[in-house]
Amino acid sequence: MSGFKEKALGQDLTGFENSLRDKISESLHQLKQEFVSYCQNKAKTYLEKDVERLNKNLQAGMYGTLEAALVDIEQVKVSFNKLGPKFNGSQLILTETCSQLVVKPAIYLMVLSRQKTTVILRNT
C-alpha cells in the first residue's frame, strides 16, 4: 500500500484505501469459499465409488455381520488417507461418509435379524 500512496492522486486516499482493502478481502473470502467447495466435491467424488461398492455388497447380502462391513469401511479409510485429496476438511468428510456407511449395514442387519426371529417364532 505504501507504493499506492506515493503514486496516488487526490485527497481521499484513506477512504479509497479502505474500500480497496474491503474489496480485496471480500474477493479473498469468496475465493477461499470456492476452493473449500471444490475440495469437498473432490473428496466426495473420490469416496463415491467406494460408497457405491459397499452399498451393492450390502444389497447382495455379502455382509453377514457388522464386523464384515467394518473391514471394508476400514479399507475405504486407508485408501482415502493414502490416495484421497488432502485439505483441512478432508478428514471430516471421511468421518461423515464412514459414519453413514456404518449405519446402513447396522440397520440392515438389525432388520434382517428381526425378520429371522419373527419367522422362527412363527414356526414354533
Residues 82-108 have pLDDT tens digits of 999 999 999 999 999 999 998 888 888
Look at the alpha carbons of 59, 62, 65, 68 in this order and tell me if their dihedral is positive or negative: negative
For residue 78, the model assigns a pLDDT of 96
- From the number of C-beta atoms within 10 Å of its C-beta (0-12, 13-18, 19+), residue 37 rates as exposed
pLDDT: which is higher, 43 or 14: 43
**Of 47, 36, 63, which is closest to residue 100 (Cα–Cα)?**
47
For residue 106, the model assigns a pLDDT of 85
**For residues 72 and 57, is the Cβ–Cβ distance under 8 A?**
yes
For residue 12, the model assigns a pLDDT of 64
For residue 44, the model assigns a pLDDT of 95
**For residues 17 and 1, is the Cβ–Cβ distance under 8 A?**
yes
20-79 pLDDT per residue, tens: 899 999 999 999 999 999 999 999 999 999 999 999 998 888 888 888 889 999 999 999
Q: pTM, whole model, 2 decimals? A: 0.69
pLDDT: which is higher, 54 or 113: 54
